């Protein structure tokens, strides 16, 4: 009753569909990477307000401890003030990079570049404030603890989504090439060659300099996705797409995602 029918699939259409799905996956990947780094603005604002109020209260408290000769309590108050200033800096650096603050925090306090790290740090500062047991510090410290917990939870959820999407990207890439199992190691090797200062990130200037040199691998084979690249345009485009927090650099996972979306899974493997 039902006759068989042959369905002709245009290879070019299938390739284009795959490319579009990869681009959508990379877009989703970039969005969740941004969420893993940037806490919701309301929580950031709550943290900044709480820390400012704690600082104002602790200035008076520190003067009182100094005049009444209580060195231990004074040291605790000064530490709370110092960490509150650092907490304010970690949140402001997400929006503005003043005096190289963002680079400084990324170098010396890298854990603050993620929601989870900042969240736990806020909880720590909040507990210091609550331990002073004054009306202002208890209320503001409690607010800081609550915002820190929610910041950490949002970061954990975003990180879980990033990990899942990363696995999906690798699976899609592997399905497009028989050499998919070695593709990530190939990207890691390429990334190490591009990361001139070895800090685990590639800046737009490092990428631009690498593309100008067009370095080969040790065995003389070049990486196909970087052939005939418009150095300035492609470097800026890559950063615009993947640099979610605007710090002008990407890591190995972001580079991997960009390559498979830009050039397709099969083209990542060596030729």
**Higher pLDDT pick, 151 / 261:** 151
Question: What is the predicted pLDDT for the residue at 95?
Answer: 76
Q: What is the C-alpha separation between 236 and 230, in angstroms, rounded?
A: 10
Which of 103-107, 129-133, 147-151 has the lowest average pLDDT? 103-107
**Higher pLDDT pick, 204 / 59:** 59
Q: Which residues contact 247 (CB under 8 A, 6 or more apart)?
A: 97, 102, 103, 106
Counting residues of the chain whose pLDDT is more than 70, the rounded percentage is: 61
Q: What average pLDDT does the segment 18-29 reach?
A: 63
Domain over 41-157 is classified CATH 1.20.1270: yes
Q: What is the C-alpha separation between 141 and 270, in angstroms, rounded?
A: 55
**Higher pLDDT pick, 50 / 220:** 50
Q: Is the distance from CB of 88 to CB of 53 less than 8 angstroms?
A: no
Q: What average pLDDT does the segment 115-130 reach?
A: 92
Counting residues of the chain whose pLDDT is more than 90, the rounded percentage is: 19
Which of 81-85, 114-118, 133-137, 257-261 has the lowest average pLDDT? 257-261
Q: Which of 132-146, 185-199, 223-237 has the highest mean pLDDT?
A: 132-146
**Higher pLDDT pick, 22 / 17:** 22
- Banded model confidence at residue 121, pLDDT cuts 50, 70, 90: very high
Question: What is the predicted pLDDT for the residue at 258?
Answer: 62
**Higher pLDDT pick, 217 / 128:** 128
The pTM score is: 0.61
The mean pLDDT value of the chain amounts to 72
Identify the CATH number of the domain defined by range 176-268. 1.10.238.10
Which of 55-69, 76-90, 106-120, 255-269 has the lowest average pLDDT? 255-269
* In the predicted structure, residue 225 carries a pLDDT above the cut 70: no
* In the predicted structure, residue 138 carries a pLDDT above the cut 80: yes
Task: Supply 108's token pair.
Answer: 């010396």
Read out DSSP for 145-188?
A: HHHHHHHHHHHHHHHHHHHHHHHHHHHHHHHT-TTGGGHHHHHH
pLDDT in tens, 36-82: 777 788 888 999 999 999 999 988 888 888 888 888 888 888 999 99
Q: How far is CA 133 from CA 67, 137, 139, 142, 263, in A?
A: 19, 7, 9, 11, 59
Domain boundaries, the chain: 41-157, 176-268
Q: What average pLDDT does the segment 160-188 reach?
A: 63
Question: What is the predicted pLDDT for the residue at 179?
Answer: 44
**Higher pLDDT pick, 27 / 179:** 27
Question: What is the predicted pLDDT for the residue at 129?
Answer: 92
Q: What average pLDDT does the segment 143-171 reach?
A: 84
């Amino acid at each position: 009753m039902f006759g068989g029918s042959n369905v002709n699939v245009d290879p070019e259409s299938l390739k284009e569909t795959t490319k579009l799905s990869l681009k959508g996956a990379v877009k989703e990947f970039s969005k969740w990477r941004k969420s893993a780094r940037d806490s919701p603005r309301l929580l950031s604002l709550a943290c900044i307000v709480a820390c400012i109020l704690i600082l104002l209260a602790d200035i008076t408290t520190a003067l009182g401890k100094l005049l009444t000769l209580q060195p231990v309590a004074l040291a605790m108050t000064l530490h709370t003030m110092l960490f509150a200033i650092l907490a304010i800096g970690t949140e402001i650096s997400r929006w503005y990079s003043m005096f190289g603050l963002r680079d400084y925090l990324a170098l010396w306090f890298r854990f603050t570049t993620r929601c989870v790290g900042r969240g736990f740090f806020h909880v720590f500062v909040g507990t210091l404030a609550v331990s002073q047991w004054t009306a202002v510090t208890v209320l503001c410290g409690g607010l800081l603890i609550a915002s820190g917990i929610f910041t950490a939870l949002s970061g954990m959820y975003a990180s879980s989504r990033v990990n899942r999407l990363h696995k999906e990207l690798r699976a899609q890439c592997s399905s497009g090439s028989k050499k998919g199992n070695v593709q990530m190691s190939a990207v890691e090797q390429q990334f190490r060659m591009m990361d001139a200062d070895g800090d685990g990130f590639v800046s737009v200037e490092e990428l631009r300099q690498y593309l100008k040199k067009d370095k080969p691998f040790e065995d003389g084979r070049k990486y196909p996705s970087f052939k005939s690249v418009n150095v300035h345009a492609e470097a800026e485009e890559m950063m615009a797409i993947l640099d979610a927090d605007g710090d002008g650099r990407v890591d190995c996972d972001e580079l991997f995602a960009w390559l498979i979306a830009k050039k397709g899974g099969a083209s990542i493997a060596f030729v």
